[in-house]
Amino acid sequence: MNLMNKDIWLGIGAIAFGVFLLVFAIPSFVSSPSNVPALVLAPTFWPTIVAYIIVVLGAALVISRMSGLTNESSGETANVPETREEQLYGLGRLLAMAVLMVGLVIATPIVGMVLATAIAFAFFAAIVVTPRPLTSIVVAIVLPLALYAFFSHVAGVSVPQGRFLTLP
C-alpha cells in the first residue's frame, strides 16, 4: 500500500472519528447545563469545535490526495523510519506519550490541573526532543498559570485544584 492510499484511509478514519464524536460521544458523555451564560463556556462547545476540525482536516486530506494536489513524484519523501532501531525509537516515544497521558489523568486530582499540565508539557517537550528546551520550560510554567488566571478570575470557571497545591 503506497503512501497516497494510507493518507486516504487516514483521512477517512479521521472523518469517521469526528462524526462519531459529534453524533455519539459528545452528546452521550459530555453533560452541559441549560443555563450556561455564554456559548463558549458550555462544556460541549470546545469538544464540538475540535470534532468539526477533525472532520474538516480529514476531508481536506482525502480531497488533496484524490485530486492530485500533492504529487509523490514531485520530490516529496515519506518520513518513514528505515531501520529497525528507528522503528523501535518511534514506538518507544509513542508508548512514552501514552504513559504521559495516563499519568496526567491520574495526577490531575492529586496535584491539580495547573501543576499536572505544567509537568506534562515539560515531559512532552522532552519526548518530542524540542529544539528549544528553555522556551518549552518557560511555556510549561507560564501557559498553565495564564490559563488558570483567565478561567478562574475572568471567566469564573473553577479549575480543578489538587490536594497538595491550592492556587488563589
- What domain range is 145 assigned to? 84-154
Domain tally for the chain? 2
Check residue 79 and give its pLDDT: 60
In the structure, what pLDDT confidence band is assigned to residue 36 with cuts at 50, 70 and 90? confident
**165 within domain boundaries:** no
Instruction: Supply the pTM of this predicted model.
Output: 0.61
Name the 3-class secondary structure at 147. Answer: helix
Residues 48 and 101 both lie in one domain? no
In the structure, what pLDDT confidence band is assigned to residue 55 with cuts at 50, 70 and 90? very high
Check residue 84 and give its pLDDT: 83
**134 within domain boundaries:** yes
**34 within domain boundaries:** yes
Of 120, 104, 111, whose CA–CA distance to 166 is shortest? 111
**9 within domain boundaries:** yes
**110 within domain boundaries:** yes
On the 0-12 / 13-18 / 19+ scale of CB atoms within 10 A, 106 is exposed
Residues 148 and 103 both lie in one domain? yes
**168 within domain boundaries:** no
Provide the H-helix boundaries in the chain.
Answer: 3-20, 26-29, 45-67, 84-111, 113-127, 133-149
The C-alpha cell of 35 is what? 443555563
Apex CA 8: angle with CA 3 and CA 11, to 5°?
Answer: 125
In the structure, what pLDDT confidence band is assigned to residue 7 with cuts at 50, 70 and 90? confident
Say if residue 74's pLDDT is above 70.
Answer: no
**78 within domain boundaries:** no
From CA 134, how far away is CA 146, in angstroms rounded? Answer: 18
